[in-house]
Amino acid sequence: MAVYTKLGAETMAAIIAQFNVGTLVSAKGIAEGVSNSNWLIEAQRAEEKPVRYILTVYESRVETGDLPFFLGLLDHLAERGCPVPRTIHDSDNHAYRMHEGKALALIEFLPGVSVDEPTAGQAHAVGAALAQIHIAAADFAQTRENSLALPGWKVLLDACGAEGLTSIHPELAMIVARELKSLAAQWPTDLPRGVIHADLFPDNVLMLGESVTGLIDFYFACTDVRAYDYAITHAAWCFSANGAVHYPERAAALAAGYAETHGLSAAEIADLPMLGQGAALRFTLTRAYDWLNTPADALVTRKDPMAFARRMDWYARATPAQVLGG
Amino acid sequence: MAVYTKLGAETMAAIIAQFNVGTLVSAKGIAEGVSNSNWLIEAQRAEEKPVRYILTVYESRVETGDLPFFLGLLDHLAERGCPVPRTIHDSDNHAYRMHEGKALALIEFLPGVSVDEPTAGQAHAVGAALAQIHIAAADFAQTRENSLALPGWKVLLDACGAEGLTSIHPELAMIVARELKSLAAQWPTDLPRGVIHADLFPDNVLMLGESVTGLIDFYFACTDVRAYDYAITHAAWCFSANGAVHYPERAAALAAGYAETHGLSAAEIADLPMLGQGAALRFTLTRAYDWLNTPADALVTRKDPMAFARRMDWYARATPAQVLGG
């Protein structure tokens, strides 16, 4: 991922000066974030040690109107002890500032690395952290519609087109249309809702050993069915990268971690396979859209949509107990 | 700049474990380096504070055979008090290791930011730091030929082709051919030689205020005429970005800084305009080559070759005194 916005050192120093964190000491553009530009910043107050922050400039995909939700949520969760980065407010107590027409925010830096091949112990810790944010967000006052729920999936399907999907895999257009129709007919409307992360992949979790040190990248967070967030997290953590193998021991650990502080109701558990199908469909569609709209020679790795089409197939055949690692 | 090599957290932790710096605490891919993949790493020994490093994986452009020169030079200069990052040797005391066919090195992290619009005070500090490395490198035992000297310029010219250069600017092919012919006839062979940085642009200098905290990116360093290194630095620091305006006050400060510890001889000063023409030709050609070989839609900013063609024109008309800011 590139850094899209160019910020000279002088401009960067002027921006940082508005946040009451001292003087800019170092700034490195980092190769993270799907559609934002990010820098790892170091600033220092007189007589104190340098402190690190992430400076994010929001590019096209993030609506400025959504920032009070995203950044307010971070502060809300951090205040309640969740492992999420705090937003550093500027000297006027704003959570973000505008710079040349783009919003930017300064965010706490958290240690930790993102794992590629999670252990069961790591899946357990992520399950517990997911339950923790579900509980802590219960009294968060703001709401945000999930733009990637059922109606959004239809928009993505139309944008890809049957021909596009067929160019990825001969049967993909047919599979996606069938799943979408089936899910639209049965998608649950009565399960408990709340604020969900909606994208809790290993990339978005910082860990040290088997401890979660940070949940990051809340830019898909929204108000939706909580068990759907659980299903997304299961889809993200409990399969081989290509979606061909399900790991029951990770699934059982994820469920045990989630149950430690929160737990799923019988109604939520009964719907897990369908929620998993929905989660897998959502990522199949967004990956397919990106696949069809990313030049093959761009310096960006295209992620294979079929890795989630395979998960969709797994959920279609799975029992609730199997999603829980049984 | 993208991170070309993918390193999972587990792989990264195993690599870091070989360097005797403690346990990996954090790793962020950074958007720096023309052709290497770089991560800002944090590692921690028991009972100590975390320490930062740069992990570099060398991609296509850097020859592994050159690494003992580049990395040995960093250690040599750092030992003599120059503001350059040390190489962290692994537990077998190797300056670099191989990982899946690519070389990688762990390098000291230095604070500071790269300025966009240097002040005269900053140019002064850079002149002094350049002289410092010229002196400190005098007893460095290794040598490396400059692959981007006159013979290399001819190779680049042929690789661009007259048609390619003309596609950038109607007169560029003619200008470059004329300059190359003229420089080949008069290029100095008797000026003092030594190890030079050969690419000391503001991007490759870390500063805090008007102090140099780090000279970095020595991957063009080689054995060549020292006053040519001075001319490259002048071309990089003393013009507007588009090459249209020369700033005498920065040039005078650069000269004063260089003279503080080293100074240029009368013979070197007399050749400065020609050396500047050579420096400007070298960057015109490499930029033209990159311009013609980078897809217009790649996520990389193409740098305008004409910004250095304009500098070439300035040097062709300049007196030695003018290069020194007079």
DSSP letters of B242-303?
A: TS--B-HHHHHHHHHHHHHHT---HHHHHHHHHHHHHHHHHHHHHHHHHHHHS-TTSSSPPP
**Domain identity same for B173 and B256:** yes
Give the domain extent around A87: 9-108
> Which among A6, A32, A300 is the nearest to B299, CB-wise?
A300
Asked whether residue A145 falls in the same domain as residue A56, the answer is no
Taking 60 as the threshold, does the pLDDT of residue B299 lie above it? no
pTM for the full model?
0.82
Statement to judge: residues B275 and B149 lie in one domain: yes
A304: in domain: yes
User: Are A275 and A144 in a shared domain?
Assistant: yes
Residue % of chain A over a pLDDT of 70: 96
Search chain B and give the residue with CA nearest A208: B25
- Mean pLDDT, residues A52-73: 90
A167 with A189, same domain: the answer is: yes
CATH code of the domain containing B178? 3.90.1200.10
> Is there a single domain that holds both residue B252 and residue B290?
yes
Chain A residue with minimum CA distance to B208? A25
CA-based nearest residue in chain A for residue B27: A113
Asked if B295 has any chain A CB less than 8 Å from its own CB, the reply is yes
The residue-averaged pLDDT of A63-67 equals 88
Inter-chain CB proximity B30 and A27 less than 8 Å: no
**How near does any CA of chain B get to the CA of A309, in Å?**
24
**A129 and A276 inside one domain:** yes
Query: Residue A34 pLDDT more than 70?
Result: no
Shared domain check, B290 and B213: yes
Question: Nearest-CA residue of chain B relative to A115?
Answer: B9
Considering the domain boundaries, does residue B2 fall inside one?
no
Mean pLDDT value across residues B144-166: 94
3-state secondary structure string across chain A? CCCCCCCCHHHHHHHHHCCCCCEEEEEEEECCCCCEEEEEEEEECCCCCCEEEEEEEECCCCCHHHHHHHHHHHHHHHHCCCCCCCEECCCCCCCCEEECCEEEEEEECCCEECCCCCCHHHHHHHHHHHHHHHHHHHHCCCCCECCCCHHHHHHHHHHHHHHHHHHHCCCHHHHHHHHHHHHHHHCCCCCCEEEECCCCCHHHEEEECCEEEEECCCCCCEEEEHHHHHHHHHHHHCECCCCCCECHHHHHHHHHHHHHHCCCCHHHHHHHHHHHHHHHHHHHHHHHHHHHHCCCCCCCCCCCCHHHHHHHHHHHHCCHHHHCCC
Nearest CB to B113 within list A9, A31, A301: A9
The answer to the question of residue A292 being in a domain is yes
What number is the ipTM of this complex? 0.71
Task: Give a yes or no: residue A309 inside a domain.
Answer: yes
Question: Domain check: are B41 and B156 in the same one?
Answer: no
Asked, for residue B289, whether it belongs to a domain, the answer is: yes
Interchain contact B300–A (C-beta under 8 A): yes
pLDDT at A251 over 70: yes
Are B299 and A299 inside 8 Å of each other by CB? yes
CB–CB contact B32 A27 (8 Å) = no
B124 and B71 inside one domain: no
Give pLDDT tens digits for B217-258. Answer: 999 999 999 999 999 999 999 999 999 999 999 999 999 999
Asked whether B19 and B90 are in contact (CB, 8 A), the reply is yes
* Most confident range, picked from A45-54, B29-38, B125-134: B125-134
Under a CB-based contact definition with an 8 Å cutoff, are residues A102 and A15 in contact? no
The nearest CA of chain B is from the CA of A321 a distance in Å of: 30
Question: Could you tell me if B135 and B77 lie in one domain?
Answer: no
The verdict on residue B4 lying in a domain is no
Across the interface, of B28, B31, B114, the residue whose CB is closest to A2 is B31
Structure tokens that stand for B107 in this block: 């390098």
Most A CBs within 10 Å, among B5, B15, B28, B54, to test the A interface: B28
| Cβ within 8 Å, pair A30-B50 | no
* Predicted confidence (pLDDT) per residue in A215-234, tens digit: 999 999 999 999 999 999 99
Q: Does B113 reach chain A within 8 Å, measured CB to CB?
A: yes
pLDDT over 60 at A297, yes or no: no
Among residues A108, A130, A159, the one where a domain terminates is A108
- Classify residue A114: in a domain, yes or no: no
Residue A300: pLDDT band (50, 70, 90) is low
A28–B30 CB contact, under 8 Å: yes
Of B108, B139, B161, which one is at a domain's C-terminal end? B108
- B314 three-state secondary structure: helix
Could you say which of A108, A134, A160 is where a domain stops? A108
Q: What is the CATH number of the domain that holds A59?
A: 3.30.200.20
* Averaged pLDDT of chain B: 93
Query: pLDDT digits over A185-197, tens only?
Result: 999 989 999 999 9
Query: Picking from A6-10, A84-88, A216-220, B305-309, which range would have the lowest pLDDT averaged per residue?
Result: A6-10
Judgement on whether residues B88 and B199 belong to the same structural domain of the protein: no
Number of domains in chain B: 2
Residue of chain A whose Cα is closest to the Cα of B32: A29
Higher per-residue pLDDT: B28 or A130 = A130
With respect to residue B196, please indicate whether it lies within any of the assigned structural domains.
yes
| pLDDT in the model for residue A62 | 74
